[in-house]
Amino acid sequence: PVQHTPDGAVLVHAVPEDVQADRERLYQEGPVVRVELPGGVRAWATTHHEVSRATLNDPRFVKSVAHWADFQSGAVTAEWPLMGTIPTDDTNMLALDGAPHRRMRRLIASPFSARRVERLRPRIEALTSKALDALEERAGERLDLRSEFTFKVPMAVIGELYGVAEEEYTNLGEMYAKLFSGTTEEGEHLQIYATLFQFFAEMTARKRAAVDEHDDFTADLLRAGEGEDDALSDTEIAVTLLTVVAAGHETTVNLLNNVVRALLAHPGQLDRLRRGEVTWDAVVEETLRYDPPNNVMMFRFATEDVEIGGQTIRKGEALMTHYGAATRDRQEFGEEPHPSVFDPDRTQGRHISFGYGPHICPGAPLSRLEAGIILPMLFERFPDLRLAVPDEELEVVAALSVTSLREFPVVLRP
Ligand code: HEM
């Protein structure tokens, strides 16, 4: 059952015991739920589909922490571990609102477009192939698919996108994983952030000095808005690069893991996939709904009192989108098949797992491209891939943001 504080707020844990059951319970409490987060921080959560869409697209809810009363009063400080998931600087598009946000989105649109990321296809195939080759020798042993494969390939793709060497990016992923676990020591995320910023600022400066020699995402950003007076500054580019890893790596790792996990738990669907009765696209989209990589998105802040979903959210209060709970919405996804069921043939409803409104994920084309290449190649190479432990034993490390598996023990070729 849901645990409440004495005054009726729902206690939301950084790591729930059972993520899927937690989603259903929060949905039942919805549509708008008063929550208490680790550290006693109070907020609201939208846990139904329509109210989530409405608030994500409502200019009365903004991303800037300048509008968060508890942050401004010092009741919540920068040291709160979950601040690692809340951008606070005004060069980060995730923290921007209104016209400055629209400007950033306009300037990054082309570098992120489906057409620009499509050129990575042959490289993604080659990187996947190389990563699969590296697993051949140990295919009969238990290994961690997360650290050995699903973590590595998207990191290599980002390296490719940015045009940086492997040695440079291998430890970046680890730093981010820590940043997003919400389990760092007090203040540790601030140090990690500073290190990452320096890395990307140096890279931007290096490429700026010889932009014509590069044809990668960084160079695209350097050229974005060229000749106009609102081109991206080097600081904005460095922060964008930093944000792309933050917003795009662990989420993609998670999508890959979640698809593999759903298929192993539903072998009938895997068979249908092999017989061509269902497409990889349908499986990926249903996984995005059934087990969204971004379980919770923190925070938006009310700029005035807002009445919504039977509650009044006061000016200055924080609101999070509980994507996980919203996936259980009967009104959007119907009763049959029940939203708790993984069913790639589902026709009713549209997930919002890439967000909605002005901040909708610009990385969706890249993650879909990656999933559509990496997953079929994995199952083609290792058709008998299976879990090395029962599914119930898979452990999740965080659920307030991205629900990552601590380890994904499999045997590739039993
Ligand atoms: C924003 C989900 C992959 C870059 C978002 C948002 C969601 C999301 C829900 C909206 C945040 C909000 O409302 O505040 C996902 C999921 C992914 C994924 C589920 C993988 C399956 C990626 C990738 C990239 C990326 C691969 C980069 C290449 C971004 C950026 C933003 C964002 C930069 C901020 C946009 C803004 O604030 O205007 N993502 N994302 N994401 N995502 Fe993704």
CA-nearest residue for atom 21, ligand 1, is 252
- Identify residue 56 by its one-letter amino acid code: L
CA 248 / ligand 1 centre spacing (Å): 6
Q: Please check whether residue 291 is in contact with residue 320, taking contact to mean a CB–CB distance below 8 angstroms.
A: no
- CA-CA-CA-CA torsion sign (18, 24, 28, 32): positive
Question: In Å, how far are 253, 272, 294, 388, 395 from 391, measured between CA atoms?
Answer: 18, 21, 20, 9, 9
What was the pLDDT predicted at 26? 95
- What would the mean pLDDT of 173-192 be, rounded to a whole number? 70
Does a structural domain hold residue 220? yes
| Number of structural domains found in the chain | 1
Which of 134-143, 153-162, 273-282 shows the lowest per-residue confidence on average (mean pLDDT)?
Answer: 153-162
R_g of the chain, CA atoms, integer Å: 21
Q: What is the pairing mode between strands 306-308 and 386-387?
A: unpaired
Average of per-residue pLDDT across 367-374: 98
pLDDT at 182 over 70: no
In the numeric block, which tokens belong to residue 152?
């590595």
Query: Cα separation of 165 and 51, whole Å?
Result: 44
Q: What is the pLDDT of residues 289-300, one digit of tens each?
A: 999 999 999 999
- Whether 39 is covered by a domain: the verdict is yes
Pocket test for ligand 1, best of 119, 251, 286, 322 (most atoms within 8 A of CB): 251
Nearest CA to ligand 1 atom 43: 361
The rounded Å distance from CA 212 to ligand 1 centre is 29
- pLDDT for the residue 180: 61
What is the CA(179)–ligand 1 centre distance, in A? 16
Q: Which atom of ligand 1 is nearest to the CA of 244?
A: 27
* Domain presence at residue 2: no
Triad 102, 105, 108: Cα angle to 5°: 150
Is 74 inside any structural domain?
Answer: yes
pLDDT in tens, 48-100: 999 999 999 999 999 999 999 999 999 999 888 888 788 888 889 999 999 99
pLDDT, tens only, 329-356: 999 999 999 999 999 999 999 999 999 9
Q: Which pLDDT score, from 0 to 100, does residue 219 have?
A: 87
- Structure tokens given for 409: 């023990």
Domain that residue 401 falls in: 10-411
- Domain with residue 105: its CATH number is 1.10.630.10
For the CA of 158, the nearest atom of ligand 1: 28
Q: Residue 179's pLDDT band (boundaries 50, 70, 90)?
A: low
Give the nearest ligand 1 atom to 357 CA.
13
C-alpha span between 255 and 407 (Å, rounded): 14
Least confident of 1-10, 21-30, 351-360: 1-10
Task: Please give the distance, rounded to the nearest whole angstrom, from the Cα atom of residue 131 to the centre of ligand 1.
Answer: 25
Q: Does the residue 84 lie in any domain?
A: yes
Instruction: State the sign of the Cα–Cα–Cα–Cα dihedral 147, 150, 153, 155.
Output: negative
**Within a domain: 5:** no
Ligand 1 pocket, residues with Cβ under 6 angstroms: 56, 93-94, 105, 243-244, 247-248, 251-252, 255, 293-294, 297, 353-355, 359, 361-363, 366-367
Q: What is the pLDDT of residues 201-224, one digit of tens each?
A: 998 999 888 888 888 888 888 888
Confidence of residue 183 (pLDDT cuts 50, 70, 90): low
Lowest-confidence region among 86-95, 171-180, 322-331: 171-180
The ipTM, to two decimals, is 0.97
Q: Per-residue confidence at 230, pLDDT binned at 50, 70, 90?
A: confident
Average pLDDT over residues 119-147: 96
Looking from the CA of residue 352, the nearest atom of ligand 1 is 9
- Check residue 81 and give its pLDDT: 82
Distance between CA atoms of residues 127 and 156, nearest Å = 7
Any domain includes 269: yes
Task: Select the more confidently predicted residue: 249 or 70.
Answer: 70
For the stretch 88-127, pLDDT in tens is 888 899 999 999 999 999 999 988 999 989 999 999 999 9
Quick one: CA dihedral 206, 210, 211, 214, positive or negative? negative
In a domain, 88, yes or no: yes
* Cis peptide preceding 87, ω within 30 of 0: no
Measuring from atom 35 of ligand 1, which residue has the nearest CA? 359
**Rounded distance, CA 64 to CA 85, Å?**
13
CA distance 235 to 61: 26
Place of tokens 């662990």: 250
